[in-house]
Amino acid sequence: MAHVIQFSEAAFIALHGMVIVAQSDDLVNVVQISDKLKSSKHHVAKVMQRLVKDGFLHSHRGPTGGFVLKKEPKDISLLDLYESIEGKIDIGDCPLDNPVCPFNRCIFNNVTRKLTEEFVNYMKAETLDKYVNG
C-alpha cells in the first residue's frame, strides 16, 4: 500500500524509542526498546547511538546500563529527532528534484512544498513532553 509520507524504520525507532526513554524514570536499554517496538536489537542500538552522538541521550554502559534523556522532553522536537536520523529536510518545489521542468507550470502545483512545510511545522511543534504521559 502506498503512503504519501513514508518513515524509514530508523526514523520510526528514533521517534518511538525516544518516547519510551522519556516515559521511563529509569535507564532504558536496547532490549527493552527493541522488544516494545518489535525491531532488531542491532538496528535499535545503531539508532540510539546516533541519538547519543547528536546530544539527545546519555548512554550508560554495562549490564545495568541503558539510555536516559540528555535534555528536557519539552526541549526535544520530533523534527530534531527525525532530522538527526534522516538529515535536514529540504523544502523544495519538485518532488523529483528536477532542475529543469518540462512544463511552463508545475503539474504538482507546488503541493509537495506545501505538504513538506506542513510536515515540518507539525514535527517542530510536537515535543517529547506531549507523549510522556500518553
- Report how far apart, in Å, the C-alpha atoms of 68 and of each of 29, 44, 108 are: 9, 15, 43
- What residue ranges in 48-104 does DSSP mark as E strands? 57-60, 66-69
pLDDT tens, N- to C-terminus, the chain (134 residues): 777 778 999 999 999 999 999 999 999 999 999 999 999 999 999 999 999 999 999 999 998 999 999 999 999 999 999 999 999 998 877 777 777 778 887 787 778 888 999 999 999 999 999 999 75
What value, to the nearest 5°, has the Cα angle with vertex 66 and ends 64 and 69? 140
**Domains of the chain, start order:** 9-131 (1.10.10.10)
